[in-house]
A = this chain, B = another copy of it.
Amino acid sequence: MRNEHVKDVTIKDIAQHLGISHPTVSRALRDHPSIRAETRLAVKEAARQLGYIANSGARTLSRTRSELIGVIFPDVQNDFYSRTMSTLASMFLERGFKLVLATSEDSAETEFKHIQSLREARVAGVIIAPTANLKNESVELLRSIPTVQLLRSHPLLECSIIKLDERSGIATAMEHLIEKGHSRIGFIGGSGTLSTGVDRAAGYIDALQGHGIPLMRALLRQGPPRPHFGYQAMSDMLSMKAPPSAVVMASSELTLGGIEAIQERKISVPADLALIAYHDPAWFKLWGAGITCLRLPIEQMAAAAAMRLLNQILADAKSPMCAGSETLDADTPFASQLVVRGTT
């Protein structure tokens, strides 16, 4: 223990130690071209010996922008977000950025607080999966930070979006079920206030219409994308007089709850009920004969978001006043892939 509370050594200390000026030290440390190789080496050696540790706060102060990237996700327990974090972490680390993780818990208020403190930290950029009812103040703050929306998007946020083609993903799943002869198909998805909730439900409705199957209100359930709601919705559907013969669960968290309800009632899958889930966490292939699902290109999406943000940050640094580089926003949505397994 005993933290040695000696004051940190600064570039001035190094300068003094070497009998030169601090600006020279500063330049040497950053490999500034106009510095003699000799002095550069001497400086670096001295820095090492004295145990110099740069002060990123001070650097930020004189530069106006830090090397921090804020990541605002609803939570990290969700497999999608935690895997995304991994990719983002490695991509940004390589480029000298650090990630600050902020979890909104789907509360617009905590989301706002986070955005505020990220703004205070002068983060270089933000990657966000916004909450449904993003506050105006949040929008306002984000206006001054290069931002990229990932997976979810919010209408008020005028920034790049890296998204999935949710509708056609669900459409594919529906095709699959319909081909298998199902027509009483249920859908359990995220709230209609979330962009993903809306889009996935739309895909479901489209598919039904496309095949002339009437939409039954009781078979379309939307709510908070958490296990609890999945359990609830599935239980409800299973207690109907005429329950569905297949169900699409539009999120892995909902699936967790949905399956619990199914097991509780000892319903056999896929004999009595076919199932398609969204996303493909590791355990899906282990459950029974495997859960049929739509696999999302997580790594690619994360990488795309990172690159997009890096570009924006760069463009921003070059021509801070210029508002023209909107060419980046060619929002080509990513496609999910149907993985057929034992539940259908």
Contact = CB atoms under 8 A, between A and B. Distances in A.
Interface of A: 1-5, 8, 53-58, 60-61, 64, 66, 68, 75-77, 79, 82-83, 85-86, 89-90, 93, 98-103, 105, 110, 113-114, 116-117, 119-122, 141, 143-146, 158-159, 227, 256, 259-260, 263, 281-283, 285-287, 316, 320-321, 323, 326, 329
Contacts of A60: 57
Contacts of A323: 1-2
Nearest to A99: B101
Contacts of A141: 53
Contact of A61 (B2, B55, B105): B55
11 contacts: A3-B145, A5-B144, A5-B321, A68-B100, A77-B83, A93-B110, A93-B113, A98-B117, A227-B282, A256-B286, A283-B287
B77 A89 contact: no
Given A57-B66, A287-B287, 7 more contacts: A3-B320, A53-B116, A56-B121, A57-B58, A57-B61, A256-B286, A283-B286
Given A76-B82, A83-B77, A98-B102, A3 B316 contact: yes
Contact of A103 (B53, B56, B89): B89
